[in-house]
Chains A and B, each alone.
Chain A
């Protein structure tokens, strides 16, 4: 999967876990997950949505080190073989 496609698909998934007020045109890879309004409950939702959308199997704790959008992209890229 090429990186731009990965970015677009990640954004489509993250929209479901974030408040409607997030301006996605302003979100870059340095943006922290927490600043997108993703609390501990939303993070579990995001985990499930990523598993379903990318057909991946991983545990919620595998995302404990993920702090930014860039971290999440790197995690997914490694799993989906970008």
Chain B
């Protein structure tokens, strides 16, 4: 194989607080309707952070039953549904039909893995001792449970593994899938990410870390780049994307919804939770260089934009360093106020949101950006959606531990 192959996205699947498919996501993104509410999954007594973007439990159960699937684990269930949507949209699976083995890779990202199973088995061991540990403890709780279960259900015989790099996990999964196809190691890869955080102990861990918003008004809690921001709001869900070579898409007659043009990654190698301008800048610059794109050719940035003091300030400094004079022109937005921070699922769902913006030719409006922080001195999208000057985007994900992963995407006609 010589030269770089072009990599396109032919299928999207999403499960989030905005609904159980990409149509619901797009509709509510462009209607300016967020999905952050007061958490219902457990008793909030004693918790100082009470907002979250939960997936509707009844809808999730109904969607699984509708497909004839049993509940296994919340993270796995959401990943499975998103995968089904993406594969069906790409024409690589048909609902209700028997799946035959096909050479498709399965790369998923997750921050915490199958939390429901991890917590349940630990509790059962505490209560019953050795007999409390089900024989499924290992296959349910292993960190590659998502990709292994997805690959088995849909008979995907390409490489399957899980990437764990905190909030950057699924962006890394997409980046690796992109590189596999670009460099000729694979033809098609299902990439995605998932996390489920609304367990009292798991959520409590975040509560005690001190990075979540304490705003008692859920709809106003997540405020990226705003002067009054006070932390992020957790979400849950899954995103899945079918990546394939442009030649493969053409040969199958599959519709290319966007192109992955570039990917860059770096490690801060400094501090476990404090972001680094140098680390972020290197990842963004590497992604733009990989895409062969100058800042003057960038349509917009879907920022990591968590709404912590540290992230938003640092990300804006990094954007100024990377974009130079273009920083005054390139619109910057964060999708997190709509569906929360999905941690390992964040990159996948935000990449899907980015693709929906590229298809619509406009960037969705910001939520809760009433008074931009003076230290977030970039061209922020405010209360109105912004028309795109050109169909290109950069999508940032930065994780605790110093992982930075950045994608560059292109929409429009992909001849």
Where the two chains meet, the residues of A that have a C-beta atom closer than 8 Å to any C-beta of B are 17-22, 37, 39-42, 44-45, 47-48, 52, 60
Contact = CB atoms under 8 A, between A and B. Distances in A.
Nearest to A15: B70
B68 to A, nearest CB: 5
B2 interface: no
Contacts of B65: 19-21
Contact of A21 (B68, B135, B153): B68
A19 B70 contact: yes
Looking at chain A's contact residues, the main secondary structure is helix
Interface string B112-135: 000000000000000000010011
Nearest to A19: B70
Interface in B60-117: 61, 64-66, 68-70, 72
A45 B68 contact: no
Given A19-B65, A37-B68, A47 B135 contact: yes
Nearest to A47: B135
A14 to B, nearest CB: 11
B215 interface: no
B70 A44 contact: no
A17 B136 CA distance: 12
A19 B72 contact: no
23 contacts: A17-B70, A18-B70, A19-B65, A19-B68, A19-B69, A19-B70, A20-B61, A20-B64, A20-B65, A21-B65, A22-B68, A37-B68, A37-B69, A37-B70, A41-B72, A41-B136, A41-B139, A44-B136, A45-B134, A45-B135, A45-B136, A48-B134, A48-B135
A48 B139 CA distance: 14
Contacts of B64: 19-20
Contacts of A52: 131
* Best-surrounded residue of B61, B68, B149 (most CB of chain A within 10 A): B68
B327 to A, nearest CB: 49
